[in-house]
Structure 1
Amino acid sequence: MVFFVAVGTLCAICGALAFLLTLADRYLNDYGLCTISINAGERVFTTTGGDSLLTSLSQEQIFIPSACGGRGSCGLCKLKVLGGGGPLLPTETPHLEADEIKDRMRLSCQVKVREDMAIEIPEALFSVREFRACVTELTPLTHDIQLVRMELIDPETIDFTPGAYVQLQAPEYPDSPESVYRAYSVASDPRDTRHLDLIIRRVPGGICTTWVFDHLTVGQRVTFNGPHGDFEMSDTESEMIFIAGGSGMAPFLSMLLDMVQTQTTRPARYFFGAVNRRDMFYLDEMKEFEAKIPDFKFIPALSNPEEAEGWDGETGLVTDVVKAHYRDCSDKEAYLCGSPGMIDACVKVLTGLGMPEENIFFDKF
Structure 2
Amino acid sequence: MSYTIALNFEDGVTRFIGCKEGETVLDAAYRQKVNLPMDCSDGVCGTCKGHCEQGEFDMGDEYLEEALSDEEAAEGQVLTCQMVPSSDCVIQVPVASTLCKTQVGKVEGTVAAVEQLSEDSIELVVELDDENGLAFLPGQYIHIDVPETQAHRSYSFSSMPGDKRASFLIRNISSGVMSSYLTERAVVGDRLTLTGPLGSFYLREVTRPILMLAGGTGLAPFLSMLEQLAEKGCDAPIHMIYGVNKDDHLVKTDALDAFAEKLPSFTYSTVVVDEASAHPRKGYVTHHMDAEVMHDGDIDVYLCGPPPMVDAVLKHFDAEGIAPQSFHYEKFTPNEAGGAS
Q: Is this a same-fold pair by TM over 0.5?
A: yes
Give 5+ residue unaligned stretches, structure 1.
Answer: 1-63, 67-119, 173-177
The structure with the larger Rg is 1
SS in 1 for 2:316: helix
Shift of 1:202: 1.3
SS in 2 for 1:203: coil
Matched, 1:286 2:286: no
Q: Partner residue of 2:160?
A: 189
Query: Which residue, out of 134, 143, 147, partners 1:167?
Result: 143
- 1:283-322 alignment, distance < 5 Å: 283-304=253-274, 306=276, 310-311=278-279, 313-322=280-289
Cα distance in 2 between the residues matched to 1:291 and 1:181: 37
Shift of 1:198: 0.8
Query: Which residue, out of 111, 115, 118, partners 1:142?
Result: 118
Change (3 A) 1:327 1:127: closer
Change (3 A) 1:134 1:260: same
Give 5+ residue unaligned stretches, structure 2.
Answer: 1-10, 14-94, 333-341
Quick check: 2:209–2:295 contact (8 Å CA) kept in 1? no
Cα distance in 2 between the residues matched to 1:182 and 1:168: 5
Shift of 1:358: 6.7
Matched, 1:207 2:183: no
> How well do the aligned residues superpose, as a CA RMSD in angstroms?
2.4
SS in 1 for 2:297: coil
Greater shift in the superposed pair: 247-256 or 320-329: 320-329
Superposition TM-score, scaled by structure 2 size: 0.64
What is the percent sequence identity of the aligned residues? 27
Letter in 2 for 1:242: M
Cα distance in 2 between the residues matched to 1:249 and 1:214: 24
Quick check: 2:297–2:325 contact (8 Å CA) kept in 1? no
Q: Partner residue of 1:40?
A: none
Change (3 A) 1:299 1:187: same
Quick check: 2:133–2:161 contact (8 Å CA) kept in 1? no
Q: Report which structure shows greater RCO (CA 8 Å, sep ≥6).
A: 2
Q: Partner residue of 2:198?
A: 228
Shift of 1:209: 2.3
SS in 1 for 2:289: helix
SS in 2 for 1:222: strand
Q: Partner residue of 1:122?
A: 97
Cα distance in 2 between the residues matched to 1:167 and 1:327: 34
Cα distance in 2 between the residues matched to 1:181 and 1:214: 17
Quick check: 2:97–2:103 contact (8 Å CA) kept in 1? no
Shift of 1:348: 1.8
Letter in 1 for 2:123: L
SS in 2 for 1:289: helix
Cα distance in 2 between the residues matched to 1:234 and 1:284: 25
Cα distance in 2 between the residues matched to 1:149 and 1:332: 33
Shift of 1:316: 1.4
Q: Partner residue of 1:265?
A: 235
Matched, 1:331 2:307: no
Quick check: 2:143–2:152 contact (8 Å CA) kept in 1? yes
SS in 1 for 2:102: helix
Quick check: 2:301–2:324 contact (8 Å CA) kept in 1? no
Matched, 1:361 2:331: no
Quick check: 2:215–2:309 contact (8 Å CA) kept in 1? no
Quick check: 1:301–1:316 contact (8 Å CA) kept in 2? yes
Structure number having the greater helix percentage? 1
